[in-house]
Structure 1
Amino acid sequence: MTGLVHRALRLFVVAAFVLTTCVPFTPAHATRVRIKDIVDYEGVRDNQLVGYGLVVGLHGTGDRLTNTIFTRETLIGMLNRLGVNIRDRMIQLQTHDVAAVMVTATLPPFSHGGGHIDVTVSAVGDARDLTGGTLLVTPLQAADGAVYAVAQGSLVTNAFTATGQAATITRNIPTNGHIANGAVVEREVPVTLGANGILHLSLRNANFTTATRIADIINRRVSRGMAKVDDPRTVSLDMSGFDPSQTLYRIGDLTVEPDTMAKVVIDEASGTIVMGDNVRISTVAIAQGNLTIQVTEMPQVVQPAPFSNGTTAVVPQTRITASTDDSHRLGILREGPTLASLVSGMNALGMGPRDMISILQAIKADGALQADLEVR
């Protein structure tokens, strides 16, 4: 009985080995994304809002009114509107608990009156810290000068400052704060989808291939002849006879495979290299040598003779040596069908990021780099 069990186990192991070694390799599927993740709809956009206001309740870290004139005038004007007239009186304001700020916000599309949006508060005077302050009622205007929201509330800076007798430490930015849901929407921005029967989809990355794939799948899945490619960034939709909301819902969930340009982006400051999947390099021979220059300072102190009137002097001595590393041989970087083979070939030649940057620039100059090279 035991022998049968052992034999069965051996057969199971052999069968498992055969199955695991004979299963063919299946390449990874191409990445498909939803259309709504790579396009913007015409007329659906954010609107920037800005306002000027006062933050009160600071713990002596606000603007110095003797230096910041606009803060003093704003405070006097606010008190006058509240029935406190101090402009005609000889009163010297000395408070340090008030700060003038700029308030910014983004009004999302389809926002309705009574909704709430986040605001950012930033000091414009010489205030040192806005932590613990309260923003007073501040109208927020758009580029057309109309008021679209009103902000007010206690702000949070997520910063702190610790001061000692000889040192000070600060984390984050204490003069920049945030109020979650700190503004109430007072006016709506009307958005009309397909007002003339035509709606445009704007690709975030212009590409003729991607635009054509989007138009093809819309014509196949939604309605034949609905989509047309105008240019690499724009796809036109004929919305005549269709409900815009329901149609865009169906179109947004359709998936396509976006095409990417062959491009190499290099950031020389940080030594970062980013290459797309379509980057190709023709077969080239590469030799990379290193030059090392070493400068050594060895100053010598010269002492005068005993009982003499001489002075001690320092005589500078410098030793400069230059050496080259000839261990790098001429290597061949063969043309590869994929990005993985290209990276493997460059790593096999022992290249570091800095070497790769200079070599890629030289390969581009030689005409063997079949991609755009962008150096930042």
Structure 2
Amino acid sequence: MMLRSILVSVALLLALPADASSRIKDVVEVLAARDNQLIGYGLVIGLNGTGDSLRNSPFTEQSIRAMLQNLGIATEGGRARANNVAAVIVTADLPPFVQSGARIDVTVSSLGDATSLAGGTLVMTPLSAPDGEIYAVAQGPVIVSGFAVEGQAESLTRGVPTSGRVPNGALVERHIPASFDDLLMLTLQLRNPDFSTAVRIADAINRYTKKRFGAALASERDSRTVYVKKPKGISAARFYAELENLVVDVDVPARVVVDERTGTIVIGNDVRISRVAISHGALTVRVTEMPRVVQPEPFSRGHTEIEPATVIEAEQPDAKVAVLDGPDLQTLVSGLNRLGVKPDGIIAILQGIKSAGALQAELVLQ
């Protein structure tokens, strides 16, 4: 009954019209405005004995010495014994149009054998782009959602305690020059490529620009790209602000997404199945070994022997045959429910239907 409820819920959620109306800003990206990735190497201090073991992570000790030397503290002689420091890799995305002085979030991930970053503080870490230039500096307390507890005979770990975030932890030192207002042509890129959606976006923009500017300014290039000419007498930012709230009908391909690791199945609204008969039933074969000890008769010269005894049982419960013919999503889900199979069985059935050529959709396995 639980599987039936889950599948029916999926059907109700996905049994929508094939075309869903969305704003242009929700389905496209402007190529002139893009994120840039930053990376840096730093240290997290203040850990409660969960940092790197310096024997297994020699680079952590080298980093500690280099940091102390930069602070004017001599570190010659003797080895560091601290276990409250962890070497980390710091990553961040620099959003477009960000100016110097703005703050962005950073992600901190352990590089050595630290067991947890909870309670630690990231010390000043420069973040650079692929061009080698430093664009931000990160520092602040690390927030970790996971935890790890360990005793002498048992340990418990929830989440990922060796990775965390520093909200607003990076201060932008250098902005990336952007000339958005100087653009004469806006390039819109669809997040989910589709020829029908690209044509509808261009048509929606042209209907608006004919009324507003007296000319059709948009043209589709392919399934991912739409070009829009910027009219005279208006800034590119204001022009795109007028276009991004236009509503278009977004078309999506028929697709079934299957995650075999978690048993998750997502079926699109336009998925169709040609008429096909399916037999499903799990065959269970149980082999039990029960050896018996056989004693010789009294006062005989026999020996004690072990006599093998094997019991083999075969079961095939709930074997059913159903006919599936999916003119719509609701019929497809109802047919799978009639078989009464679990998610792993549905995955096998969908793969078999695809191999038989009866699944009129793309099957994506993750």
Name the TM-score, length of structure 2 as normaliser. 0.83
Distance 1:110 1:272 in 2: 38
Distance 2:75 2:280 in 1: 77
- Structure 2 match to 1:51: 40
Distance 2:362 2:259 in 1: 14
Q: Give yes or no for the alignment of 1:230 onto 2:218.
A: no
- Structure 2 match to 1:62: 51
Within the candidate set 96, 115, 124, 1:137 is matched to 124
Within the candidate set 65, 74, 78, 1:91 is matched to 78
Name the TM-score, length of structure 1 as normaliser. 0.81
- Structure 1 match to 2:60: 71
Alignment of 1:289-368 (within 5 A): 291-303=283-295, 314-322=306-314, 328-329=320-321, 331-334=322-325, 336=327, 338-348=328-338, 353-368=343-358
Within the candidate set 149, 158, 163, 2:145 is matched to 158
Misfit runs of 4+, over 6 Å: 307-311
Distance 2:111 2:59 in 1: 10
Kept after mapping to 2: 8 A contact 1:42/1:193? no
Number of positions where the alignment pairs a residue of Structure 1 with one of Structure 2: 346
Kindly state the Cα deviation for residue 39 of structure 1 after the two structures are TM-superposed. 0.9
Unaligned runs of 5+ in 1: 1-26
Distance 1:244 1:232 in 2: 24
Change (3 A) 1:308 1:69: farther
Kindly state the Cα deviation for residue 340 of structure 1 after the two structures are TM-superposed. 1.5
Alignment of 1:1-376 (within 5 A): 31-87=20-76, 90-193=77-180, 195-223=182-210, 224-241=215-232, 242-288=234-280, 291-303=283-295, 314-322=306-314, 328-329=320-321, 331-334=322-325, 336=327, 338-348=328-338, 353-376=343-366
Kept after mapping to 2: 8 A contact 1:101/1:125? yes
Kindly state the Cα deviation for residue 247 of structure 1 after the two structures are TM-superposed. 1.6
Q: Once superposed, what is the RMSD of the aligned Cα atoms?
A: 2.9
Kept after mapping to 2: 8 A contact 1:105/1:120? yes
Percent identity, aligned pairs only, is 48
Change (3 A) 1:160 1:304: farther
Distance 2:344 2:46 in 1: 52
Change (3 A) 1:106 1:313: farther
Give the AA of the match of 1:162: V
Change (3 A) 1:267 1:176: closer
In structure 1, the residue corresponding to 2:66 is in which secondary structure? helix
Distance 2:358 2:83 in 1: 65
> Which of the pair has more CA radius of gyration?
1
Unaligned runs of 5+ in 2: 1-14
Distance 2:163 2:197 in 1: 41
Kindly state the Cα deviation for residue 213 of structure 1 after the two structures are TM-superposed. 0.7
- Structure 1 match to 2:10: none
